[in-house]
């Protein structure tokens, strides 16, 4: 979203009625001021590659986990319980 539009939206959604924009005339005044807010700081390219690598590792583990071999269970003899109710 452009910075001017973001500033306009924030002014329209202001909680304090005295600070909030009332009509289209106020919008034109705000847009004509030419106020340019500071540009956001540039994002590091390395941070994106780190995030992509971490996501790749998580996806690989998530896809590998269901197919890994389960440890063999020792077979145990069947246990029978007989109860005489009479």
Question: Which whole number is the average pLDDT over 5-20?
Answer: 80
pLDDT over 80 (residue 71): no
Model pLDDT for residues 24-47, shown as the tens digit of each residue: 777 777 667 655 555 555 667 788
pLDDT over 80 (residue 72): no
Mean pLDDT of the chain: 77
**What is the chain written as a DSSP string?**
--HHHHHHHHHHT-SSTTTS--SHHHHHHHHHT---PPPPPPPPHHHHHHHHHHHHHHHHHHHHGGGSPPPPPPP-----------
């Amino acid at each position: 979203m452009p910075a001017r539009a973001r500033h306009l939206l924030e002014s329209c959604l202001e909680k304090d009625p005295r600070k909030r924009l009332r009509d289209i005339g106020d919008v034109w005044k705000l847009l004509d001021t030419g106020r340019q807010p500071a540009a956001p700081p540039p994002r590091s390219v390395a941070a994106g590659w780190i995030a992509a690598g971490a996501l790749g590792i998580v996806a690989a583990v998530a896809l590998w986990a269901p197919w890994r071999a389960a440890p063999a269970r020792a077979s145990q003899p069947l246990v029978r319980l007989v109860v005489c109710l009479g």
